[in-house]
Amino acid sequence: MADMDERLNQWLRDAHAMELQAEHMLNGLAGRIESYPELGTRIDQHIVETQSQKQRLEACLQRRGTSPSGMKDFAGQFTALMQTAGGVLAGDEVVKGLLAGYTFEHMEIGSYRILAAGAEAAGDMETARVCEEICREEEAMASWLLDHCREITQAHLMRHATESETAKR
């Protein structure tokens, strides 16, 4: 049982580090997509959700008698993608950001499903409830991105084509 509790604590710390990374990525993205106001609004909304998720995880860790460990614990398997999303010169930041955001949300969904199952097994029903609640917010963000994927991609391509034409004249 002590093993199970320690495992769950580590997963919660990983999720907390993941949210720090998410906040970092979303803030970077928000500053680069002024031409896409609808996406910008949804990202701003998710930044607020992400900050609240971080706080809810901190409360779970505190209740369990432990604390977060900072960003260093994050596995970082998405670092390369995030760096691309933060790229300044590529010219297609919005599309890279869409891909990175959609991918990241699914990692979060997977993490919270696992955490909720783990918390349930450890008998920590409050943590399980919090993780399910956060999971629904990530699912809503992922499905918003999916719903707007075609529109944003095509708007980007059209804008780019128009700008190239203008530049030739």
What does the binding site for Fe ion look like in residue numbers (CB under 5 A)? 22, 50, 53, 108
Q: Evaluate whether 82 touches 21 at the Cβ level (below 8 Å).
A: yes
Task: Give me the least distance between CB of 46 and Fe ion, in Å please.
Answer: 8
Q: Evaluate whether 137 touches 53 at the Cβ level (below 8 Å).
A: yes
Q: Measured from the CB atom, is 11 or 156 closer to Fe ion?
A: 11
**In angstroms, rounded to a whole number, what is the distance separating the alpha carbons of residues 143 and 63?**
32
Task: Give me the least distance between CB of 112 and Fe ion, in Å please.
Answer: 8
Q: Measured from the CB atom, is 140 or 155 closer to Fe ion?
A: 140
Q: Measured from the CB atom, is 54 or 96 closer to Fe ion?
A: 54
Task: Give me the least distance between CB of 54 and Fe ion, in Å please.
Answer: 8
Residue with tokens 């609004």: 41
**In angstroms, rounded to a whole number, what is the distance separating the alpha carbons of residues 38 and 34?**
10
Q: Measured from the CB atom, is 16 or 156 closer to Fe ion?
A: 16
Task: Give me the least distance between CB of 96 and Fe ion, in Å please.
Answer: 19
Residue with tokens 């707007």: 148
